Amino acid sequence: MVEKQSAALDGVFHALSCGTRRAMLHALSEGELSVSALAKPFSMSLAGASKHVKVLEAAGLVRRRVEGRTHYCRLEAARLAEAEAWLRHYERFWTKRLDTLEALLTAEDEVAGQKEAVRERKP
């Protein structure tokens, strides 16, 4: 089960590693678009856009439907939620580490303030 989840997550992060594919996902967050509409902002061929869409499909981030000769894509956000959950674990890790650092720096500032107060009292 872990290997299947890992492979799916690997596919999501691979798909997200490309700025073009991230931009395509962003465009699809507004609603269904044709592959040609996805290609237009990048001045790329339909074949090039289709390759990106295939990567997004393989990762489970996009679903494609065909109507005549036109291919339409829509966002499938469930895989993004899985990736977010995985990242959330590390967010908690870093938050805990940063909270510890903040406490240490606050304690250091208090000690420095106490030393300064003692120096000011000496004639």
Domain with 60, as residue range(s), is 2-76
One domain, residues 18 and 69: yes
One domain, residues 42 and 69: yes
Q: Is residue 54 scored above 60 in pLDDT?
A: yes
One domain, residues 71 and 110: no
One domain, residues 6 and 64: yes
Q: Which residues of 63-88 are buried (b: 16+ CB within 10 A; e: fewer)?
A: eeeeeeeebebebbeebbeebeeeee
Rounded Cα distance, 115 and 110, in Å:
9
Threshold 0.85, pTM exceeds = no
One domain, residues 99 and 68: no
Q: How many domains does the chain have?
A: 2
One domain, residues 54 and 86: no
Taking residues 35-53, what's their average pLDDT?
95
Give the confidence band of 7 by pLDDT, cuts at 50, 70, 90: confident
Give the confidence band of 4 by pLDDT, cuts at 50, 70, 90: low
Give the confidence band of 39 by pLDDT, cuts at 50, 70, 90: very high
Rounded Cα distance, 33 and 72, in Å:
5
Cross-strand partners of 67: 70
Q: Residue 48 CB: number of other CB atoms within 10 A?
A: 14
Q: What CATH number did the domain enclosing 7 receive?
A: 1.10.10.10
Contact predicate 48/54, CB 8 Å: no
One domain, residues 64 and 108: no
Maximum mean pLDDT: which of 22-31, 74-83, 105-114: 22-31
One domain, residues 84 and 58: no
One domain, residues 52 and 84: no
Q: Residue 59 CB: number of other CB atoms within 10 A?
A: 23
Q: How many CA atoms lie within 13 A of 29 on its CB side?
A: 9
One domain, residues 64 and 6: yes
Q: According to the model, what pLDDT value does residue 3 have?
A: 53
One domain, residues 90 and 114: yes
